[in-house]
Chain A
Amino acid sequence: MDRREFLAAVAAMPALNALQVRPVPNYRIVTKYKPAPVSGMPGRYPGRVVTVHSPRCIDEVTEKVDVPAVQEMIAQGMTTLTGDKDARDSWARFFDADDFVGIKVNASGATGAMSMPEVVAEITRNLLVVGVKPTNIVIHERGGGQILLPRYDQYVPAGVRVESANTWLGYDPGVYVEVDFFGEDDTRSYLLRMITEQFTKIINVPNMKDHGASGVTGCLKNVAYGEFGNVARSHNKAQTETLTFIGTLAAVEPLRSRTVLNIMDGLRGVWHAGPFSRDKKYRFYPKQMKFGTDPVAIDRFLLDVIDNKRKQEGAISVWERDMKYFSAKLADWEANPNVNRFIREPGHIEYASTLGLGVYDTHKIKHTEITV
């Protein structure tokens, strides 16, 4: 299915009183970077997802993370993904001593649901094992405020840095997506300069979260809206352009080629009012992690995790487009899981598949589930 067919199919979906599907905006992508011979997304393992469950990985009452359990989850996830016996060999397939690695965490809503420091610490430890220098590891986010809250710096060895666009290098004026969505005057979204000029590889560490605009926020949104600036402009009243903007941003070089590994931290998640909600009533504990190089395939299963939890809680589906559930008041949406703040666009994941970023059809995804 190409982009045109995709949009035609979406438009044909039954949705009473729903907003009409808009045409694909006129995106202008500016970059001097060419795709790598083996593109990072969907990467070495397209259509492949490994899910590792661990009932003991987090205590639901104290939210204390069981570090040995996390270590085992990551080791099992990586070896199952690559087929190696030794986790070190698995990591060595992706990284070596010459790499400068950016770890893209998700700190939206910290210190609520976020990329857990214990998970980030274990990823860092594995990078060091295969020879990546501590000074060549940067835990990062676009924004400079929330990334400081989890105190990642206290979980990683000296030399590993925590940075944002505010603190290091800013944005690259030569790599951007230009588009006018709703008449906004600032029509460019620039990519972080640390990605274009420093990183050779990126590990994407999203969470399992509901998202008021895009339906869910997983691998694709974490690198798209998390590595480019000026992205909130894609939401206007009930409408959001996340359907096409997320995939478009994720496909920009060199972001696409350098994002070589996705490790979704699902120790705890958010089933409503995401991504920022710190409200414990919307928090849940999937107690799992997903591994892969294909962000579309991982996010496809994330959709089920979030939507199933919402069903379990009696909330409307992330696919619900009926305007009767819409409220422009933030407080309504925060208080009631049967209210939409925007007409959500969970179709952004399938749309990204039409850009070649991965496999959406579950029948074509090889999904292995393990419990440790």
Chain B
Amino acid sequence: MTRRTVVLIAGIATLTCGALVVTTADADKWLRFDLTDRARALDGQVPAPPRSAHERPRFYLSSAGSTLIQKRLAAPQPTGAEAAGFEQVPPPRIEFRPDVSQATTAPWIDSNGARFQRGLKKAHYAKLPAGSAPLAAAEAYTYGVDAILNPDPSDLDALGSMLQFLNAQSRPPLPVMANVGVVDDGSAQMGEILNLLTRRNLLYRVVAAPDRTLNLTVQLGTAEFPKEAAADPYAFAARVRAKIGDDNRLIRLYGTSTVVAHLTGDGTRLRLYLLSYGGRGRQQRGQPSIRVRVVGRYEPVAFAAYGTEADAKLTDVDNPGKTTEFSVPSFVTIAMVDLRAR
């Protein structure tokens, strides 16, 4: 397949299910998947092609999603021993708690990101309230997790569109990028800390021992992070933030308090996932434009987002100092940005 063909088919995919803007001359370096099969999958002609678990998560649906299974957008929910490998997770959602969270007026995000970062690779979204199924699919996709979805019947159309979109995207197998290495003791207390780090976009990965390539190691019981400090996860996250320093944070988001970032990359190229946990209005009408700051000098090479205008693209790309900044247009639930080192 030539580069020109890849871009052409990408354009077809764009018209079908969202925006995929290819801005690089060597698109084939980035779109390492067979777009012909993907385009056919969109039409329901063939099942979505098989993928390795690392590169592309699998979606399964309960009987509530039988119409989408018939359209081959997902597989039937596994049974028996295979089903036993899936761990039940709560639905992703947002809670507005002005009585409790007045400090920043930022709502509470219930994300499974920390569970996935801890190593959960098979998630069972057993109870998905109306409006949450597309976000659950996007959340699992972002972290490369296989997921069983049990959607509310009212979500089937939206979930079908989301699965179409996700199935059409590339997912480069890049390692998780982080500022912080967390030595996970497996405790519930540590789980809540990881949850806060996720919600506050303090990028981390779980490590077995301190990793000197990272800015900071979080290990409970050390002088820097005594166990008693974990009693207040909010203050603990603030402590981690202060020790990293905002200027050093790999990702900063401006214009939102409800988007969670997940960054993968190898130093020469990055894939940034943006998950919007905004309330129902934002899940339907879109997360307003946000500004992104990435440490390092990069240029955007591809942008894909669900629910954007067909001609949507990143704007106001700039490289102040040793950073990269750009604006992401309004999107619904999930956006992905590929960047290449300058």
By a beta-carbon cutoff of 8 Å, the part of chain A in contact with chain B is 166, 170-171, 173-174, 180, 182-188, 190, 229-230, 232-233, 236-237, 328
Contacts and interface: CB of A to CB of B under 8 A. Distances in A.
Contacts of A180: 246
Interface stretch (B27-35, B42-50, B130-138, B251-259): B251-259
Given A170-B289, A185-B200, A185-B201, A229 B255 contact: yes
Given A173-B316, A190-B291, A184 B104 contact: yes
Contacts of A174: 316, 318
A185 B105 contact: no
B102 A185 contact: no
B215 interface: no
20 contacts: A166-B288, A173-B316, A173-B318, A173-B325, A173-B327, A184-B103, A184-B106, A185-B104, A185-B106, A185-B200, A185-B257, A186-B253, A186-B254, A186-B257, A188-B254, A188-B291, A190-B255, A236-B103, A237-B102, A328-B102
B238 interface: yes
Given A185-B253, A185-B257, A328-B102, 12 more contacts: A173-B291, A174-B318, A184-B103, A184-B106, A185-B201, A190-B255, A229-B255, A233-B104, A233-B105, A236-B103, A237-B102, A237-B103
Contact of A183 (B102, B238, B254, B327): B238
Contacts of B327: 173
A236 B102 contact: yes
Interface string B284-325: 000011010000000000000000000000001010000001
A230 B201 contact: no
Contacts of B103: 182-184, 236-237
Contacts of B316: 173-174
Contacts of A182: 103-104
Given A233-B104, A236-B102, A328-B102, A186 B289 contact: no
A172 B104 CA distance: 23
A183 B242 CA distance: 9
Contacts of B102: 236-237, 328
A206 B241 CA distance: 39
B246 A187 contact: yes
Contacts of A229: 255
Given A173-B327, A180-B246, A183-B238, A190 B254 contact: yes
Contact of A186 (B256, B318, B325): B256
The binding surface of chain B is classed by DSSP as loop
Contacts of B238: 183
Contacts of A187: 246, 254
Interface in B10-44: none
A371 B316 CA distance: 51
A184 B254 CA distance: 11
Nearest to A193: B316
Nearest to A172: B316
Contacts of A183: 103-104, 238, 241
A-B CB proximity, top 9 nearest: A184-B104, A188-B254, A173-B316, A183-B238, A236-B103, A173-B291, A186-B254, A185-B200, A173-B327
A196 B241 CA distance: 33
Contact of B255 (A166, A171, A184, A232): A171
Report which residue of B238, B253, B255 has the largest number of chain A beta carbons within 10 angstroms of its beta carbon: B255
A225 to B, nearest CB: 14
A174 B102 CA distance: 29
Interface string B101-116: 0111110000000000
A230 B255 contact: yes
Interface in B201-248: 201, 238, 241, 246
B28 to A, nearest CB: 31
Nearest to A229: B255
A206 B248 CA distance: 40
A170 B288 CA distance: 10
Contacts of A166: 288
A230 B253 CA distance: 13
B71 to A, nearest CB: 36
